[in-house]
Structure 1
Amino acid sequence: MRILKYIFLLILLFSIAVAVFVATQKGDFEVTQIRLINTPRNIVFNFVNDYRNWPSWASFDAEMKPEFPAFTSGKGGSFSWEGSENDGDVKTISVKENDSIVQQMNWNGLPANMYWTFKDSAGKTKVTLKVKGKIGFMPKIYAAMKGGANRIMEGIFEKSLVTLDKTLDREINTYNIKVDGIAEKTANYYLKQTITSTIDNMPRNMRIMQSKLMHFFTKNNIPTAGKPFVLYDYYDKSKNLTKFSVCVPIRDEIYTAPESDVTFGKFETFHAVKTTLTGDYSHLREAWDKTRAYIEANHLTKTDGNSLEWYKVGKEDGKGPSKWVTEIYIPIKDAAVAPAPPAAATVTAPTPAAPKPETPKTEEEISIP
């Protein structure tokens, strides 16, 4: 009986010693991970900036089940997850386009701050991720056995950046461009927002405009009649300037208040050369170039009508960039159907290099991006 008392006392003393040891261990952690990613900076930034991409690379939980709100990119964007080992959420606090992102994370109820920076480096992107936060009592026990909280978190975020690099290489550089030939584009009603913007700021402005436009539809209980598209009024490379409209199809004519920046639009049925891009938007320039080359090779004549990009499948459909589908239409004068182009095969391209300087054109405006 006395032996049992001694054993119990030893267990109690050991438990107290462990509790004191764990309690005195540093619960704060601060880790910094740096990786050179073989993908252009703006593409890496946009991929990280949108939480819909995170489950493909964030190594937070092997069985992560994400939930996405209406806004998943830019300031105020967020997402949450549940997993077999932990759950949490992340929200974007501030964004500097193509440069930096600041986020707040709750990991099993414990706070952490994440700081991203993106810099050009010898043709690659230098990604720096700094994370500062705290861990609770139970994780401290695990951390004490594994070399400390910093060592555990370094492993998680190092693995995440490695996976991010591999995912970008696969998702961005696997794409397909098919010139479908002459097609008829049927008439459409739509609501639109129009802006004149620098070409450099166009992707950011498009995201903002599309979010505002969808909020307008939701607020006014207006049903949509298809996926969004962009109409180009002009695209002047020499001045780095473009005027375009972000549009959402509707079934019937709707006229908005005169002071509203959302207006009604309509285009009639027209013939166009159609091209389908399956893949990331970074390949759109190549798709436009192939469309123009087809028009020239088949001696077709463009009209003064607006060219458009129609986003048939995108991130909101739960697809990665390699599965996005964008249709391009360049209006042409009615003519006999040109020969069908050869079928295009899906390719995995090498990492895209910086665009080559283009020969200046004589005309002041270039109508197609």
Structure 2
Amino acid sequence: MRILKYILLLLLLFSIAFLVFVVTQKGDYKIVRSKEIKIEKDIVFNFVTDSSSYQDWSPWKSDEANFKNIKITPNDSLTQNIFISEIKNESLMQFQKTNNGVLITWELNGKLNFNLKLLCVLKGGVDYVIGNKLEEGLENIDTYLVKELKTYNIKINGLVTKHMTNYIQQIDTCNAADFQKVSKAMLQNMLSFVEKNDIEILGLPFITYESVKPNNKEIIFAMCVPVEEEILTTPGSEISGGHFDEFLAVKTTLTGDYSHRKEAWNKAKNYARKNKLNEDTNGKFIEVYKTSLPKERKPSKWITELYLPVKKKTFTPKPKTETTQENLESTTETNISTKQTEK
């Protein structure tokens, strides 16, 4: 019994000593990790700095950490405060162009609470605990951008009839490089408008273009949601009503990220030319978001239907040469003259 008491006392003393050791560990830290992402620098930068994409690459769960942007230097760096377990940590991400893509250098510094100190002691130091988190985040970025964005498929469905549709729309213009970010924000704004005004949607959101020219750096488009009846809005409202009549279209299905839209439209145009279909420049060029955010986070599983407005080519037959009395007389005279010459 006395031996058992000594053992318990020793365990108590050891526990106290261990706790004292944990508490007295250095509270400040600074960890740096780097990784090369083999994709264009601007794509990586736009993805990482888009607050709606944090959940796609953050190494912390949404209830574990909170990100707050402090400063964004275009195509160069991102400064943030990251609150982990309610403790502020200062984060700096720098983006440097390389021959193969971009090098991301992620620096994180802050203070450790008791739980993190304990975890660091058990796992061999702060460099392993925080460092592993940074490596996980960088790996998530690489997986999302390189593997997810490069996995796609384009299928030509052929000639279809696109039926008459009423819709409400928000029209905007942006650079081609900013299209995904701008259109995503517009979609959320449109859905909020629909919910606020208790408007019933009859189908999936879609985008219309006045034209689709792959070389254009500027895109004029409208974010739309289909409704039962054409809606009239007050003058000056950013939301307006729209309508298109039934038309023929080449339907193409893109499974994958929107960055492959250009290739999908080009294949649709090539199909039209090969099948003797004229592109209807006065028609509506439409993209329907069949599967997209926020329902599906992985770009490789996004499904977008493209509709290229076309008209069937018409051929006007060449007029037949009429045999007139004058032509007959001329022909007869020529034949007689020829015979006389032969004599």
The interval holding the TM-score normalised by the smaller chain is 0.7 to 0.9
1:214-229 equivalent positions in 2, closer than 5 A = 214-229=191-206
1:1-369 equivalent positions in 2, closer than 5 A = 10-49=10-49, 58-60=58-60, 80-81=62-63, 88-93=64-69, 95=72, 99-234=76-211, 240-303=217-280, 304-334=282-312
Taking structure 1 as reference, are residues 99 and 206 closer, same or farther at Cα in structure 2, changes over 3 Å only? farther
1:257: how far off? 1.3
**CA displacement 1:320-366 (0-9 Å, x = unmatched):** 11111111111111469xxxxxxxxxxxxxxxxxxxxxxxxxxxxxx
TM-score where L is the length of structure 2? 0.79
1-side partners of 2:39 and 2:164: how far apart? 39
SS in 1 for 2:177: coil
Taking structure 1 as reference, are residues 190 and 117 closer, same or farther at Cα in structure 2, changes over 3 Å only? farther
Taking structure 1 as reference, are residues 7 and 317 closer, same or farther at Cα in structure 2, changes over 3 Å only? closer
**CA displacement 1:12-46 (0-9 Å, x = unmatched):** 54444333322221223322221101122343345
1-side partners of 2:149 and 2:216: how far apart? 28
SS in 1 for 2:130: helix
**CA displacement 1:71-97 (0-9 Å, x = unmatched):** xxxxxxxxx24xxxxxx1333425566
Taking structure 1 as reference, are residues 97 and 290 closer, same or farther at Cα in structure 2, changes over 3 Å only? farther
2-side partners of 1:190 and 1:255: how far apart? 10
Q: Aligned letter for 1:173?
A: K
Give the aligned CA root-mean-square deviation in angstroms.
2.9
Taking structure 1 as reference, are residues 4 and 271 closer, same or farther at Cα in structure 2, changes over 3 Å only? closer
Unaligned 5+ segments in structure 1 are 65-79, 82-87, 337-369
How many residues matched?
312
1:54: how far off? 5.8
SS in 1 for 2:311: coil
Could you say which structure has the greater relative contact order, defined with CA pairs below 8 angstroms and 6 or more residues apart? 1
Given that 2:250 and 2:272 are in contact with CA atoms closer than 8 Å, whether structure 1 keeps it comes out as yes
Given that 1:114 and 1:129 are in contact with CA atoms closer than 8 Å, whether structure 2 keeps it comes out as yes
The residue number in structure 1 matching 2:338 is none
Q: Aligned letter for 2:285?
A: S
2-side partners of 1:34 and 1:184: how far apart? 51
2-side partners of 1:110 and 1:245: how far apart? 43
2-side partners of 1:246 and 1:173: how far apart? 26
SS in 2 for 1:333: strand
Given that 1:233 and 1:242 are in contact with CA atoms closer than 8 Å, whether structure 2 keeps it comes out as no
The residue number in structure 1 matching 2:332 is none
1:152: how far off? 1.4
Higher normalized helix content (fraction of residues): 2
Taking structure 1 as reference, are residues 241 and 11 closer, same or farther at Cα in structure 2, changes over 3 Å only? closer
1:284: how far off? 1.0
**CA displacement 1:269-319 (0-9 Å, x = unmatched):** 110111110011111111111111111222211111121211111121224
**CA displacement 1:38-74 (0-9 Å, x = unmatched):** 12234334544567766665544xxx6xxxxxxxxxx
Given that 1:43 and 1:282 are in contact with CA atoms closer than 8 Å, whether structure 2 keeps it comes out as no
Moved more, 39-48 or 50-59: 50-59
2-side partners of 1:227 and 1:50: how far apart? 24
Q: Aligned letter for 2:235?
A: P
**CA displacement 1:244-288 (0-9 Å, x = unmatched):** 111122222221111211111011111011111001111111111
Given that 1:27 and 1:149 are in contact with CA atoms closer than 8 Å, whether structure 2 keeps it comes out as no
TM-score where L is the length of structure 1? 0.74
